[in-house]
């Protein structure tokens, strides 16, 4: 989710550049995030004739250089979109596993590693989720619109030197980490990849989980809510869904100028429903909870240069963030903004999405497109520059009474004179909030 994805979605949904849930003034902390991993760093270091990455002594500008690529992302910083900047941003970028590991553990690592240190010898790293469980007795949950054993949720719940080892990751999550709640994609009834048959077999044999799965013709959101009603005090909940590509079906936008309109499937729950069920389930623990939520379809859509699908996925995320806000705002319980921290950020940007000021993007209005190997948008209204990741800065916003304090001193600490934090600082901020 680059800033360009945020602006495009905000224009389509609300007719303004900054009207998503996390754009409101209630979100007290905002900054930009550098997302580079050790693989990216070593590539830049080699080009510069510098030493390879060493956690004890490294130059952050070899990971991300604001002089070359801007102190802010496009379209906020137009200077970050020169031909030279684009070439730099498209050169080498983090993968999702290393980026999620940085946020989960506070440690940089090589591309493809899941909560695992870089280089050799190497070792498993402890994620903030597990620290919260062991040190505070907190509950742990993960919700993802893509397979539950994919890179981002996996970094918070498992360990691996190979992100594609889906069977081992699924086994570790279900049999060892045993989070109190998981809702995600990859159901084998709709997609044969991601070790789904193995995972489903484990879930059906594990009496510790209340297992809710996608079924043809059944409303997935209603099934999840029914599962929440049936949860016993000590029971864990696992919701297993997903469509033909492994992801939960996101709302899909229609070209209806003046009125944003979406079509929706019903066999998968909406992300907002999944997040609401997760929060209610985990909130049964008076010691609190850490919930990781991923709208992974934003990434998958941008990989495909599928602009409409990206807008639908962004709408899904916007709805989910508003659902969490509503949950915290509910009166009469122990949860409020004084003891809650919500962070919205991205693991990296994908696609290097750009659009013109005269773009057809407006409330409910889609640019024309034609599908080829990748989607094309005649007239230059929308353009993608890659089907891969980009080393762009992404945004971070945080809400809660303690949000500003959690991030104090982090912006500009590695890039003086800027509002840039490192993705490992996400871990540091959460650790501070939890009192570690």
Looking at the DSSP bridge assignments, the partners of residue 116 are: 124
Residues 233-276: tens digit of each pLDDT: 789 999 999 999 999 999 999 999 999 999 999 999 999 999 99
Average pLDDT over residues 105-129: 97
Predicted local confidence at residue 164, as pLDDT: 97
Q: How many CB atoms lie within 10 A of CB 310?
A: 32
Say which residues have a Cβ less than 8 Å from residue 65's Cβ, sequence separation at least 6. 44, 88
Residues 329-357: tens digit of each pLDDT: 999 999 999 999 999 999 999 999 999 86
Say which residues have a Cβ less than 8 Å from residue 265's Cβ, sequence separation at least 6. 243, 249
Q: Name the residue ranges covered by the structural domains of the chain.
A: 1-90+335-436
Mean pLDDT of the chain: 95
- Cis before 257? omega within 30: no
Give SS3 for 411: coil
With CA atoms as reference, report the closest residue to 2 among 359, 386, 366.
386
With CA atoms as reference, report the closest residue to 86 among 414, 313, 386, 344.
386
Q: What is the CA radius of gyration of the chain?
A: 21
Predicted local confidence at residue 234, as pLDDT: 82
Largest CA distance in the chain: 60
Residues 154-171: tens digit of each pLDDT: 999 999 999 999 999 999
DSSP state of 124: B
Looking at the DSSP bridge assignments, the partners of residue 183 are: 143, 239
Tokens representing residue 251 in the block: 């709302």
**What backbone phi and psi angles, to 5 degrees, belong to 228?**
-60, -40
């Amino acid at each position: 989710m680059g800033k360009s994805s945020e602006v495009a979605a905000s224009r389509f949904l609300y007719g303004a550049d900054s009207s998503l849930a996390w754009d409101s003034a209630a979100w007290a902390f905002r900054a930009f995030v550098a997302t580079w991993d050790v693989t990216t760093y070593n590539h830049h270091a080699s080009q510069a004739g510098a030493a390879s990455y060493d956690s004890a002594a490294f130059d952050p500008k070899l990971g991300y250089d604001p002089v070359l690529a801007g102190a802010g992302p496009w379209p906020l910083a137009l200077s970050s979109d020169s031909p030279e900047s684009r070439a730099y941003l498209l050169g080498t970028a983090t993968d999702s596993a290393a980026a999620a590991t940085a946020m989960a553990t506070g440690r940089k690592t090589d591309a493809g590693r899941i909560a695992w240190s870089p280089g050799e010898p190497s070792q498993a790293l402890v994620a903030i989720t597990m620290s919260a469980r062991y040190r505070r007795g907190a509950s742990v949950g993960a919700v993802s619109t893509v397979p539950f054993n994919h890179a981002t949720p996996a970094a918070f719940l498992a360990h691996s030197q190979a992100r594609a080892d889906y069977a081992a990751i699924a086994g570790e999550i279900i049999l060892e980490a045993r989070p109190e709640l998981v809702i995600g994609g990859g159901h084998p009834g709709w997609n044969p990849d991601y070790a789904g048959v193995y995972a489903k077999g484990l879930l059906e044999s594990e009496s510790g989980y209340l297992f809710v799965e996608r079924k043809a013709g059944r409303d997935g959101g209603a099934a999840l809510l029914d599962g929440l009603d049936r949860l016993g005090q000590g029971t864990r909940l696992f919701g297993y869904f997903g469509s033909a590509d492994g992801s939960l079906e996101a709302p899909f936008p229609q070209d209806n100028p003046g009125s944003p309109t979406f079509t929706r499937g019903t066999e998968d729950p909406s992300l907002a429903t999944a997040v609401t069920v997760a929060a209610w389930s985990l909130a049964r623990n008076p010691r609190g909870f850490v919930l990781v939520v991923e709208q992974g379809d934003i990434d998958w859509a941008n990989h495909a240069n599928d602009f409409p699908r990206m807008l639908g996925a962004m709408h899904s995320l916007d709805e989910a963030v508003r659902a969490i806000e509503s949950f915290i705002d509910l009166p009469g319980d122990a949860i409020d903004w004084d003891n809650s921290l919500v962070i919205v950020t991205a693991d990296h940007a994908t696609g290097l999405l750009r659009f013109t000021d005269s773009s057809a993007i407006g409330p409910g209005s889609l640019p024309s497109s034609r599908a080829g190997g990748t989607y094309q948008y005649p007239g230059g209204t929308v353009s993608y520059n890659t089907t891969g990741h980009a080393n762009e800065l992404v945004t971070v916003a945080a809400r809660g009474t303690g949000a500003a304090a959690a991030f104090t001193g982090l912006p500009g600490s590695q890039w003086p004179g800027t509002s840039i934090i490192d993705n490992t600082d996400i871990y540091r901020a959460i650790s501070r909030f939890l009192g570690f």
